[in-house]
Structure 1
Amino acid sequence: MAHRYRCGECRFATRWTTESEVGDLAAAHYAETHPGLALGGVVEINQKNPNSLGCLPILGIALLLLVIVAACQR
């Protein structure tokens, strides 16, 4: 999973990265841009699997079954 921080005071957002790095980047942003304010904003979590093939395996299985059915009808 990847995490991204969005500032609560401005439009700043970090890149998608690890959870611990997001915390460090958020703290650095607030210290530099919003000194004296309490850390705010939201952390977004990207739960999509970047290595996923989507529905490609299901389509491949369906095509294979169609070929088998067509071959058995001869």
Structure 2
Amino acid sequence: MTHRYWCDECGFRTPRLGAADAERRLLEHYAAHHPDIAPGGHVETGRSIGGCVCLGLTVLLLLLTAVAAAYRH
């Protein structure tokens, strides 16, 4: 699962990373850009889409192969 943390002060957002790495980047951002403000914001979670895209393409290729084989005979 990926996490993206958003800064409430300026709209900064981390890249999609593991939870610990994304949180660390947000804390580094607050220390550098908002040193007098307690870190805040919200987190966006999601799954990596790489596996879903690959699966979808595989299914599509199998369907196209089946259709091509059906019309060939």
Structure whose residues are more often helix by fraction: 2
- Once the two structures are superposed, residues 36-56 of structure 1 have per-residue CA deviations (whole angstroms, 9 ceiling, x without a partner) of 322211122231332431532
CA displacement at 1:10 relative to structure 2:
0.6
The share of aligned pairs that are identical, in percent, is 31
CA displacement at 1:29 relative to structure 2:
1.6
Using the TM superposition, name which of 33-42 and 53-62 deviates more: 53-62
CA RMSD of aligned residues (A): 2.1
Find the counterpart in structure 2 of residue 64 from structure 1.
65
TM-score of the superposed pair, with normalisation by structure 2: 0.69
- The list of structure 1 runs, each at least 4 consecutive aligned residues, that deviate by more than 6 angstroms after superposition, is none
Secondary structure, counterpart of 2:21 in structure 1: helix
Unpaired runs of at least 5, structure 2: none
Count of matched residue pairs:
71
Residues 1-74 of structure 1 correspond to what in structure 2 (within 5 A)? 1-51=1-51, 52-70=53-71, 71=73
Using the TM superposition, name which of 12-21 and 53-62 deviates more: 53-62
Secondary structure, counterpart of 1:16 in structure 2: coil
Highest CA radius of gyration, 1 or 2?
1
Amino acid at match of 1:47: R
> Partners of 2:25 and 2:46 in 1: how far apart?
17
> Partners of 1:61 and 1:6 in 2: how far apart?
40
